[in-house]
Amino acid sequence: MSHSPGDLRVRRTQKLIRDAFIALIEERGFDAITVGEVASRAMVSRTAFYRYYEDKYDLVMKLFEETVITINRDFDVFRRDALSTADPKTPAQSWTQLFKYAEEAIPTPLPYVELFEHVAEYERLYRALLGKRGSSWFVMNMRAYLADMISERLQELVKAFNGNLGVSRVLMDGFVPAQIAALLVDTITWWLEQGRPYTTRQIAMYYYHMMCSILKDVPTWE
């Protein structure tokens, strides 16, 4: 598919802004930089910056959300495939059995691999934002965004099984999704700080198995 000169200019300008943004975070930390400094480093006008982003907070969340939205579509396909192999009307079906099956049938779902591939592609950005000179605002919002996404998917799963899974309150009130989201952010942070000692597939597998272990155990908490 070809791109018009206008599309290419937009993509080039956005790349200049994003590269400048990452470089400044590495140098001075997220909290210290301004839109003016980003525009100056990118050699674009402030008007050009505001044409695409409301502020530096909007810029960083757009980088994250753009990829998560794409990966979400893959998660939806994965969830449908997993549900199609189980009969929600079977009385013996339980929440623990469901995640035990998922862990054994699909050891490393592709969407998790793609998520870590995205982190690897934007390693400089995530190192800067999640590191010591990073932004507590971004960490908080990243966790909240992921927790909402996880909660929505898990509640859809409960509904798909007509409430026959025996799910506990700690799942439905948001506590468990928040912890799983925090685990993902901490896994990403550790992986980057250690110099990515595992491949994207390996770290995705480790995170997925940790998540499944938590979810399988949830019904025993109350």
Does an H or E element contain 191, and which? helix 175-193
- Model pLDDT for residues 21-69, shown as the tens digit of each residue: 988 988 888 888 999 999 999 999 999 999 999 999 899 888 777 767 7
Domains and CATH numbers, the chain: 1-53 (1.10.10.60), 55-220 (1.10.357)
Asked if 30 and 56 touch (Cβ cutoff 8 Å), the reply is yes
Question: What predicted TM-score, i.e. pTM, was given to this entire model?
Answer: 0.78
Extract long-range pairs of 101-108: CB within 8 Å, 24+ residues apart: 102/212, 103/208, 103/209, 103/212, 103/216, 106/78, 106/82, 107/205, 107/208, 107/209, 108/201, 108/204, 108/205, 108/208
CA distance 62 to 67: 9
- Model pLDDT for residues 195-212, shown as the tens digit of each residue: 999 999 999 999 999 998
Predicted confidence at residue 92, as pLDDT, reads 35
Mean pLDDT is lowest, of 79-88, 109-118, 165-174, 197-206, for 79-88
